[in-house]
Amino acid sequence: MSEPTATPLLELRGIAKSYGGVQALADVSFAIQPAAVHALVGENGAGKSTLVKIVTGVVHPDDGELLIDGEPTRVGDPQAAHRFGIVAMYQEPTVFPDLTVAENVFAGRHPRTGVRTVDWGAMRTEASRILNELGVDFGADTPVRGLGVADRQLLEIAKALSSSARLLIMDEPTAALSPNEVENLFATVRRLRERGVAIVFISHRLEEVSVIADTVTILRDGRHVATRPAAELAHGEIVRLMVGRSLDALFPKEEAEIGDVVFRAEGLSRGGVFSNIAFELRRGEIVGLAGFVGSGRTEVARSIFGIDPLDRGRLWIDGRPFGPRSPRAALRRGLAYLPEDRLHQGLVQPMSVAQNVSMAVLPQLTPGGLLRPRRERALARRFMEQLRIKATSPAQIVRSLSGGNQQKVVLSKWLAAEPKILILDEPTHGVDVGTKADVHRTISHLAAQGLTILLISSELLEVLGMSDRILVMREGRLVAEIGRGEATEERVIAAAAGVAEAAA
């Protein structure tokens, strides 16, 4: 069927892309054949999502070219990608909650009758057909408001199926699906393949990759490592290729004296998000919280910090019960949380460095409620020095700083609050190497001084390098606890992906 001489549907040649000095992709070349399932694997940060963005025209490569049907082509924007038949399905669905499933599937391109009115009958029939094909248990007339994340993901798939895609990119489509639904999805994927559609399948679950993929491409650190037929690749081999390096010296973990338990959680649950989470943190300890995106790590942290309500569970700080009612209450008890979304949750972009750094400690800095700009500036200067923030002055507007320096500002904000326990959610996501080292140095130093840190990170090396202990989450549950001594990348990945440990 797919002869080696056939023209690939899509070919990448020497694709490179960097974001503000961080090389996201370098010289990536491989081809995607029609009528085949092409798995794309790699750690977080390996460059998969950047690659998807380039193919779908969301970002443009700095170098290299894309060939569609053998022709060099510029994919200017997502609409252009659509015209070439390239359709991407995103992890986080974008839906219309007020409309029915059928209308969501056909939003913006309703089937029409002869007199150019909406053909509800055809729309429902077609939507039902697609939903049946997917084997989902909700009907075409269901209002989307009532659907959970998993269902919305299925809806995204249905949307993609309803358009005449030649290349369908599925980014972690199975993350929130039950085994049953995964089965149905795979059946659909196979049917699509028979129709000649090429599917790029991105997944962290390696067993799924072996089940569904014809070809596997492995990326690591923005570079293309291998593209091989799936049949030739065992799990262990894939993991080895994904990881492929030893712990480097980037993570200078200082030895810290680990003290008493300062934080305890028992039976934390939140409906449909995570359940029965229990763990302890000790003074001076850095505990890594690993797991893939969507495993519930961030959600646990948000609930502990009082942003989302807990359905069940109890917490103690320093042995005293703690009810996380609001971030304010959490801060008062010495708990701080650096959120993963720097832009929306961390920074106030149009404000100055000093105003951002002082944000969480303003009550202490403003006796009588009056602002003391000098104190704020002094505070900011202290952290600019300590964290090597490159800003012209504390008065510089945060928006004009680089990503790395912005992240340091957010970190400063929380350090200024002098917490006892600090939850860091992806503290080095999207920052350059230098900043990363600065952040790691600071974290490590603070732990040595007795700060307790819960480090959430998708970057395995970071978790392995920094943590005294690693907790692993999968599908809303805590599935493993690994001590520093026994922690290897293979073990953590295996636990997070839910596969039997790969033979190393």
Q: Which of residues 311-330 bind other proteins (CB under 8 A)?
A: 326-328, 330
Which residue in this structure is represented by tokens 């005294």?
Answer: 468
Cα separation, 132 vs 125, whole angstroms: 10
Least distance CB 411 / other proteins (angstroms): 13
Q: Which is nearer to other proteins, 237 or 311 (CB)?
A: 311
x-or-dash string of contact with other proteins, 263-282, rule CB under 8 A: --------xx----------
Give the residue among 355, 357, 347 at the shortest CA–CA distance from 399: 347
Two structure tokens written together for 26: 């370098």
Interatomic CA distance for residues 177 and 188, integer angstroms: 14
Among 74, 195, 325, 399, binds other proteins (CB under 8 A): 399
Sites for other proteins among residues 176-195 (CB under 8 A): 178-180
**Applying CB under 8 A, which of residues 13, 82, 253, 388 lies at the interface with other proteins?**
82
Q: Is 436 in the site for other proteins (CB under 8 A)?
A: no
375 binds other proteins (CB under 8 A): no
Query: Which range of residues in 213-221, 257-265, 276-284, 349-357 is near other proteins by CB under 8 A?
Result: 349-357
- Measured between alpha carbons, how far is 354 from 396 in angstroms, rounded to an integer? 8
Dmax over Cα atoms in the chain, in whole Å? 78
Q: Does 233 bind other proteins (CB under 8 A)?
A: no
Question: Judged by CB, which is closer to other proteins: 77, or 260?
Answer: 77
Binding segment (CB under 8 A) for other proteins, from list 191-199, 333-341, 480-488, 492-500: 333-341
152/220 with CB nearer other proteins: 152
| Residue 194 burial (CB count, 10 A) | 10
How far from 144 is each of 33, 154, 489, CA to CA, in Å? 35, 11, 39
Q: What's the min distance (Å) between Cβ of 275 and other proteins?
A: 8
Interface with other proteins (CB under 8 A), residue from 47, 222, 339, 427: 339
CA distance 364 to 370: 11
- Determine if 418 is a binding residue for other proteins (CB under 8 A): no
The residue (of 41 and 169) whose beta carbon lies closer to other proteins is 169
- What is the C-alpha separation between 88 and 502, in angstroms, rounded? 31
Nearest residue (CB) to other proteins, 6 versus 348:
348
Closest CB 269 distance from other proteins, rounded Å:
11
Confirm if 9 and 198 have CB atoms less than 8 A apart: yes
Part in contact with other proteins (CB under 8 A); list of ranges 50-58, 223-231, 257-265, 435-443: 50-58
Cα torsion through 212, 213, 218, 219, rounded to 10? -70
Residue 472 DSSP code: E
For residues 150 and 243, which CB has a smaller minimum distance to other proteins in the complex? 150
- Binders of other proteins: how many residues, by CB under 8 A? 79
When asked if residue 500 is in the footprint of other proteins (CB under 8 A), the reply is: no
Answer for the pair 302, 327: CB distance below 8 angstroms, yes or no.
no
Q: Which of 96, 187, 260, 323 binds other proteins (CB under 8 A)?
A: 96
- Is residue 122 at the binding interface for other proteins, with CB under 8 A as the rule? no
Q: Of 125, 366, 402, 488, which one interacts with other proteins (CB under 8 A)?
A: 366
Residue 103 C-beta: closest distance to other proteins, Å: 7
Nearer to other proteins, 275 or 444 (CB): 275
Which contacts of 339-347 are long-range, i.e. CB under 8 A and separated by 24 or more positions? 339/425, 340/298, 340/425, 340/426, 340/429, 340/456, 342/403, 342/406, 342/407, 342/410, 342/429, 342/430, 346/406, 346/407, 346/410, 346/413, 347/398, 347/406, 347/409, 347/410
State both tokens at 24. Answer: 């996201």
Subset of 454-493 contacting other proteins (CB under 8 A) = none
Q: Report the alpha-carbon distance of residue 187 to residue 293 in Å, rounded.
A: 25
